[in-house]
Amino acid sequence: MKFAPGTKVAVLYGGFSAEREVSLKSGKAVGLALQELGFMVSLIDVDRDVFARLKAAQIEVVFIALHGAYGEDGTIQGGLEYLKIPYTGPGVMASSIAMNKVMTKRILLSHEIMTPDYTVPADSDGEVAVPAGGYPLVVKPVAEGSSLGMSIVTDAADLKPALLKARKLSPQVMIENYIPGIELTAAVLHGEALPLIEIRARGGVYDYQAKYTKGFSEYLVPAPLDGAIEHKVKDLALASARALGCERGAVRVDFRLDMANRPYVIEINTIPGMTETSLLPQAAEAAGMDFVALIDCMLQGAGLDLAPF
């Protein structure tokens, strides 16, 4: 065991992103599990003094339970590399690439992993270029999470309002072909695929409300899929995580499976939601690992990417 009970662990949570509320819940659940495991736990709601606070408390390892900008995007990870405090989850580069859905697609496409066609519209009032497959389209910010700023657009008249909504959250926005079919998520824990989850959102759209309101989505764990398709999706999840450099930590690869059972990777989450009812804990549970064991496994995988200076 790398980190024994009694080790000083900080859980970083809260922070500055639009996903602050979700992170507060993730962090509290993680903190309780770490306490149960016997660690000396400090819960730190991240602010500009976070690095000074970590030093002052002589923290030995950090569990990052932040979602979105200034947490999931490599910035916190960079500071921890400087301080030489090991942290959970992927390193600086993988985190910042995965936070950006366009950069993620470039990497996936270079590995011939299917992802919906997309365009990045210019920030102007002119004609908006849409991907060749046409409507319906999905408009979303390039660097956000929790479905914030996302719209499904079926009518050309709704495209510009959808772009405006996404731009309020992120300067860069993208347009993708909508993939009809079913939604799957594949958790990868330290390079191994956990059971797949099928998500059925009430009303068919997996938006913020469907994600965080009890009863608004149904989760099928493990997903009731044909064995060959399950295998293919898991392989793609592992290949996607590897392509982005997510060797460490627990990541979640989101998929759409179209009507012809073709899997498309939608995005990769490097710090998935960590409440006891979140998707990654559900997938771990289906693999026989309870929440506390999952948190221990994630903590034991904490590390640093850069060579010592």
Ligand X SMILES: Nc1ncnc2c1ncn2[C@@H]1O[C@H](COP(=O)(O)OP(=O)(O)O)[C@@H](O)[C@H]1O
Residues that bind ligand X (CB under 6 A): 116, 138, 140, 144-147, 150, 176, 178-179, 183, 206, 254, 256, 266-267
- Is 127 one of the annotated active-site residues of the chain? no
- Is 158 one of the annotated active-site residues of the chain? no
Which one from 23, 146, 217, 240 is the annotated catalytic residue? 146
- Is 267 one of the annotated active-site residues of the chain? yes
Give the residue with the Cβ less far from Mg ion, 43 or 174: 174
Quote the least distance from Cβ 267 to Mg ion, whole Å: 5
Quote the least distance from Cβ 146 to ligand X, whole Å: 5
Quote the least distance from Cβ 29 to ligand X, whole Å: 19
- Is 100 one of the annotated active-site residues of the chain? no
Rounded distance, CA 22 to CA 25, Å?
5
Tokens of 241: 């995580």
Give the residue with the Cβ less far from Mg ion, 81 or 211: 211
Which one from 26, 96, 269, 278 is the annotated catalytic residue? 269
Rounded distance, CA 67 to CA 24, Å?
10
Q: Name the nearest CA neighbour of 273 among 264, 286, 283.
A: 283
Which one from 13, 81, 176, 252 is the annotated catalytic residue? 252
Quote the least distance from Cβ 180 to ligand X, whole Å: 7
Give the residue with the Cβ less far from ligand X, 61 or 138: 138
Residues that bind Mg ion (CB under 5 A): 254
CB 80 within 8 A of CB 55: no
Q: Name the nearest CA neighbour of 184 among 231, 136, 216.
A: 231
- Is 254 one of the annotated active-site residues of the chain? yes
DSSP string, 212-240: HSTTSEEEESS----HHHHHHHHHHHHHH
Q: Which residue is nearest to ligand X (CB)?
A: 206
Q: Using CB distances below 5 to 8 A depending on partner kind, what does residue 138 bind out of ligand X, Mg ion, none?
A: ligand X
- Is 269 one of the annotated active-site residues of the chain? yes
SS3 content of the chain, % helix, strand, coil (to 5): 35, 20, 45
Q: Using CB distances below 5 to 8 A depending on partner kind, what does residue 14 bind out of ligand X, Mg ion, none?
A: none
Q: Using CB distances below 5 to 8 A depending on partner kind, what does residue 198 bind out of ligand X, Mg ion, none?
A: none
- Is 19 one of the annotated active-site residues of the chain? yes
Q: What angle do CA 39, 17, 303 make, to 5 degrees?
A: 40
> What residues are paired with 177 via a beta bridge?
137
The two beta strands, 197-201 and 217-220, are antiparallel
- Is 167 one of the annotated active-site residues of the chain? no
CB atoms within 10 A of CB 259: 9
Rounded distance, CA 289 to CA 224, Å?
20
Quote the least distance from Cβ 268 to Mg ion, whole Å: 9
Rounded distance, CA 177 to CA 130, Å?
8
Which one from 273, 278, 296, 305 is the annotated catalytic residue? 273
Give the residue with the Cβ less far from ligand X, 41 or 159: 159
User: Which residues participate in catalysis according to the annotation?
Assistant: 19, 146, 212, 252, 254, 267, 269, 273
